[in-house]
Amino acid sequence: MELWDRAYLDLEGAAHITFDGDRLGSFQFGAVAGWIDFRFGTRDGKMAVEFSWEGRNDADPTCGRGWATVDDDRIIGRLFFHNGDDSAFIALRESRARGTTGFRTPGA
């Protein structure tokens, strides 16, 4: 992620984003955890995922949106906090088991 360093990303466990088969998912980085509602589509001619999310930043409730393009075994996208920061991210595919696709940030 462009706004936070590796030490922060893995503060409360390995940073990740997961998309489940039921169009729901989750992510975790630093002190931020979110629950995702997503849809697949296209963006600039590439397969993409767009999502809204709600969760927590430390103990405070927060929400936002995001998107990512799918490029083989990685996704490249941007995560937005409602009325706050936004950051580009890259995540690498971890597993394709049981209808779940998880991605980890490089180096995690």
- The residue count for the chain: 108
51 pLDDT exceeds 90? yes
Q: Flag whether 24 is in a domain.
A: yes
13-36 residue pLDDT tens: 889 999 988 999 999 999 999 999
Q: Flag whether 69 is in a domain.
A: yes
CA-wise closest residue to 35 among 75, 5, 66: 66
52-74 residue pLDDT tens: 999 999 999 999 999 999 988 89
Q: Flag whether 45 is in a domain.
A: yes
- String of DSSP letters for 8-42: HHTTTS--EEEE-TTSEEEEEETTEEEEEEEEEEE
Q: Flag whether 1 is in a domain.
A: no
Do 58 and 65 form a contact (C-beta atoms < 8 A)?
no
Structural domain of 35: 6-104
Q: Compute the distance between CA of residue 38 and CA of residue 23 in angstroms, rounded to an integer.
A: 5
Number of structural domains, the chain?
1
Q: For residue 95, what pLDDT is reported?
A: 63
